[in-house]
């Protein structure tokens, strides 16, 4: 699963387990167990297979599980990277390991490590002369070789850690479905199965077994690593979380150990499903469902997907071109072929646009937005103006532009926070308020998107307030405004306090804590807010 979303599971025999098992029956280690028993249990349904259910009352921030990976390594389609630490490599700075595969340096910290380039892997890659397929003069051509590394690491577990291998093989493969998707199956055959069995000569692994490992990785793995690092990993219990387009957990992975920690992002009651989103939440229902079907092989029927308004967020809605008053919504969001109609039945009876026309329009607008430079504030604002009568203000395309603007205003040259006029500061604030209303619904609670946006909100509030103070405002006005800043910062510092300190979000969390100290100084002057 991507950072925002993802993953899945295994064989029908496993489905026959009892309706409700404690986590420890599946894999004793890696499960968080409190004094009064496991935090979650695993249940089974016909539609979803196994899924995780809470046994406790959980608060936002509570740890649900924290565990080391079973296996990690390069993502499919990754650039050439160091097999030890996964740093992307440029040809001129590359070192070769004795097995002939690239490393960042002879002293790479991942050399000889279980979750890096292990001695066993090195010996196998060397013995099979696998490096003869690596053309160091052409990094582009070298890339597909990396697709077979994690599958090989899974297969090597058979010898080096049989228990982990057995556990991994209980995960869903969706082989029955994947086998009937020729493009997917044949790509795996060519770039993984034949690479391992024919190019590297490791015939001891059967075709079926390697395809299963590919399926397990596609369905169950997490994308991990900090920005610019392209790694995927399988975890012993986290894969059991089912998908929901409004998830109730957030997770982070530690940079040096790759340990995954899953926390509740909202309150979770005993018996409630523990979920994450396998798809990017800032997408339309159509796009999320397409992603889930193509990559996780199921049709999402969650509350958000079933509701044309997406729980009142209107993230897929257009403004009706006919009455300019209603919103154009899918007449059946669970059917991608369904027509789109105006919500204003009285004024616009019978108005409709076909799914195909809608798709063409969105493709065109998406292309336009993709062409905007990621720091170009002016063009982003022009885009929003251009489509103000077409896209709902919180349409997902608008939201992605607004999310960028919320982080650019105050940060980039020409738009540094102290240089912004009151008008632009107010604009930043309005954008943050608008997007946080949507995040409160689709990514509620202690989530990265909310944490970052709350932090972004405090800056314009604070600068506007300081300017007002200089222009003389009353103590009580000041106090009430500072209260708002305090609220944003307090929540942002708690949420972002869970992020790794070296990550951009973690650094923001530290900055939020520093800013809180300064606000407390105001409190000393003005009295308690
Ligand atoms: C990472 S696995 C989750 C564990 C899996 N259910 C198992 O039994 O091993 C992801 C798979 O679970 C199923 N799944 C997860 N969430 C689902 C949902 N909301 N609706 C239907 N199926 C779901 C799908 O088959 C999906 O490919």
Query: Could you please report the per-residue DSSP string of 440-460?
Result: HHHS-SS-HHHHHHHHHHHHH
Supply the Cα-derived Rg of the chain in whole angstroms: 25
Cα of 15 vs centre of ligand 1, distance in Å, is: 12
Q: Which long-range contacts (CB under 8 A, 24 or more apart) does 116-122 make?
A: 116/83, 116/84, 116/85, 117/82, 117/83, 117/84, 118/156, 118/160, 120/156, 120/159, 120/160, 121/83, 121/152, 121/153, 121/156, 122/97, 122/98
- 400 lies in some domain: no
CB 276 within 8 A of CB 5: yes
Cα of 277 vs centre of ligand 1, distance in Å, is: 11
| Nearest protein Cα to ligand 1, atom 19 | 243
- 38 lies in some domain: yes
> Going by DSSP bridges, is the β-strand pair 222-224/63-67 parallel, antiparallel, or unpaired?
unpaired
pLDDT 10s digits, 419-439: 999 999 999 999 999 999 999
Whether residue 298 is found in the same domain as residue 432: no
Whether residue 39 is found in the same domain as residue 126: no
pLDDT of 371: 98
Q: Edge-to-edge strands of the sheet including 340-342?
A: 318-319, 327-330, 340-342, 352-353
Cα of 7 vs centre of ligand 1, distance in Å, is: 8
pLDDT of 37: 80
**3-state SS, residue 239:** helix
CB 454 within 8 A of CB 508: no
Cα–Cα dist 254/67, whole Å? 10
Cα of 30 vs centre of ligand 1, distance in Å, is: 20
Whether residue 152 is found in the same domain as residue 225: yes
| Nearest protein Cα to ligand 1, atom 13 | 48
Whether residue 116 is found in the same domain as residue 52: no
50 lines ligand 1 (CB under 6 A): yes
Whether residue 93 is found in the same domain as residue 185: yes
Cα of 243 vs centre of ligand 1, distance in Å, is: 7
pLDDT of 91: 79
Token pair for 467? 């300017």
- 332 lies in some domain: yes
Cα–Cα dist 290/282, whole Å? 14
Q: Which of 14, 21, 171, 172 to mutate to test the pocket of ligand 1 (most atoms within 8 A of CB)?
A: 172
242 lines ligand 1 (CB under 6 A): yes
| Nearest protein Cα to ligand 1, atom 11 | 8
Q: Which long-range contacts (CB under 8 A, 24 or more apart) does 329-332 make?
A: 330/285, 330/286, 330/355
Which residues span the domain enclosing 345? 285-357
- 515 lies in some domain: yes
Cα–Cα dist 275/247, whole Å? 5
Token pair for 510? 């530290």
Cα–Cα dist 440/433, whole Å? 10
Q: Edge-to-edge strands of the sheet including 222-224?
A: 71-74, 231-234, 222-224
10 lines ligand 1 (CB under 6 A): yes
pLDDT of 470: 81
Burial of 296 (0-12, 13-18, 19+ CB in 10 A): buried
pLDDT of 469: 79
- 386 lies in some domain: no
CB 7 within 8 A of CB 168: no
pLDDT of 26: 43
Cα–Cα dist 393/16, whole Å? 48
Whether residue 339 is found in the same domain as residue 191: no
Q: Which of 304, 309, 238 is nearest to 276 (CA)?
A: 238
Last residue of a domain, one of 222, 245, 276: 276
Whether residue 242 is found in the same domain as residue 223: no
Q: Specify the ligand 1 atom closest to the Cα of 239.
A: 1
Residue 444: partners with Cβ closer than 8 Å, 6 or more residues away: 246, 248, 265, 266, 450
Q: Specify the ligand 1 atom closest to the Cα of 220.
A: 1
Sign of CA dihedral 153, 157, 158, 160: positive
47 lines ligand 1 (CB under 6 A): yes
Q: Which of 51, 167, 176, 248 to mutate to test the pocket of ligand 1 (most atoms within 8 A of CB)?
A: 51
Last residue of a domain, one of 342, 357, 372: 357
Cα of 271 vs centre of ligand 1, distance in Å, is: 18
Token pair for 151? 């599958």
| Nearest protein Cα to ligand 1, atom 1 | 8
pLDDT of 94: 84
| Nearest protein Cα to ligand 1, atom 12 | 8
Cα–Cα dist 224/247, whole Å? 18
8 lines ligand 1 (CB under 6 A): yes
Query: Which residue intervals of 330-474 are DSSP H helices?
Result: 355-370, 377-386, 396-408, 422-442, 448-470
Sign of CA dihedral 399, 402, 406, 408: positive
Number of domains in the chain: 4
Last residue of a domain, one of 276, 305, 334: 276
Q: Specify the ligand 1 atom closest to the Cα of 10.
A: 9
pLDDT of 1: 56
DSSP-derived letter for residue 252 is: E
- 290 lies in some domain: yes
374 lines ligand 1 (CB under 6 A): no
438 lines ligand 1 (CB under 6 A): no
Whether residue 262 is found in the same domain as residue 189: no
pLDDT of 221: 98
219 lines ligand 1 (CB under 6 A): yes
CB 336 within 8 A of CB 289: yes
- 398 lies in some domain: no
Whether residue 180 is found in the same domain as residue 134: yes
Cα of 49 vs centre of ligand 1, distance in Å, is: 6
Whether residue 127 is found in the same domain as residue 258: no
Whether residue 106 is found in the same domain as residue 251: no
Please identify every stretch of the chain with a pLDDT value under 50, giving residue numbers as ranges: 2-30
- 378 lies in some domain: no
Give Cα separations from 436 to 388, 399, 451, 452 (angstroms). 19, 10, 10, 10
Whether residue 171 is found in the same domain as residue 310: no
């Amino acid at each position: 699963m991507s950072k925002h979303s993802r993953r899945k599971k295994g064989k029908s025999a496993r489905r026959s387990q009892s309706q409700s098992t404690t986590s420890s029956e599946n894999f004793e280690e890696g499960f968080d167990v409190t004094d009064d028993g496991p935090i979650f249990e695993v249940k089974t349904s016909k539609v979803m297979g196994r899924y995780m259910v809470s046994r406790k009352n959980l608060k936002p921030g509570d740890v649900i599980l924290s565990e080391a990976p079973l296996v990690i390594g390069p993502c499919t389609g990754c650039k050439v990277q160091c097999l030890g630490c996964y740093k992307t490599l440029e040809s001129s700075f590359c070192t070769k390991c004795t097995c002939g595969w690239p490393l960042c340096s002879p002293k790479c910290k991942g050399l000889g490590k279980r979750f890096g380039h292990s001695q066993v892997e090195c010996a196998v890659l060397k013995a099979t002369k696998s490096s003869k397929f690596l053309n160091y003069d052409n990094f582009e051509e070298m890339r597909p070789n990396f697709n077979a590394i994690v599958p090989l690491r899974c297969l090597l577990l058979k010898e080096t850690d049989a228990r982990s291998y057995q556990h991994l093989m209980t995960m869903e493969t969706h082989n029955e479905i994947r086998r009937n998707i020729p493009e997917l199956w044949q790509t795996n055959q060519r770039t993984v199965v034949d690479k391992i069995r024919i190019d590297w000569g490791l015939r001891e692994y059967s075709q079926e077994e390697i395809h299963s490992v590919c399926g397990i990785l596609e369905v169950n793995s997490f994308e991990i690593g900090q920005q610019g690092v392209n790694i995927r990993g399988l975890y012993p219990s986290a894969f059991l979380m089912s998908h929901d387009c409004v998830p109730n957990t957030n997770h982070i992975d530690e940079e040096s150990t790759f340990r995954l920690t899953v926390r509740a992002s909202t309150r979770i009651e005993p018996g409630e499903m523990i979920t994450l989103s396998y798809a990017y939440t800032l997408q339309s229902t159509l796009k999320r469902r397409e992603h889930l079907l193509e990559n996780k092989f199921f049709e999402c029927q969650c509350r958000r997907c079933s509701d044309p308004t997406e729980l009142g967020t209107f993230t897929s809605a257009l403004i009706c071109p006919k009455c300019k008053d209603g919103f154009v919504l899918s007449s059946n969001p669970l059917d991608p072929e369904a027509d789109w109609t105006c919500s204003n039945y009285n004024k616009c009876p019978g108005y409709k646009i076909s799914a195909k026309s809608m798709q063409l329009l969105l493709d065109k607008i998406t292309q336009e937005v993709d062409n905007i430079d990621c720091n170009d504030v002016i063009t982003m604002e022009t885009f929003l103006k251009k489509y103000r009568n077409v896209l709902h203000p919180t349409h997902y395309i608008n939201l992605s532009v607004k999310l960028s603007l919320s982080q650019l205003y105050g940060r980039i040259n020409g738009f540094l926070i102290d240089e912004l006029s009151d008008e632009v500061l107010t604009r930043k604030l309005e954008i943050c308020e608008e997007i946080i209303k949507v995040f409160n619904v689709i990514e509620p609670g202690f989530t990265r998107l909310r944490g970052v946006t709350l932090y972004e909100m405090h800056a314009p509030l604070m600068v506007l307030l300081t300017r007002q103070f200089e222009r003389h405002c009353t103590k009580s006005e000041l106090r009430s405004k500072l209260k708002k800043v305090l609220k944003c910062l307090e929540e942002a510092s708690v949420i972002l306090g869970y992020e790794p300190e070296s990550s951009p979000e973690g650094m923001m969390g530290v900055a939020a804590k520093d800013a809180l100290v300064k606000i407390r100084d105001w409190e000393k002057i003005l009295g308690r807010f």
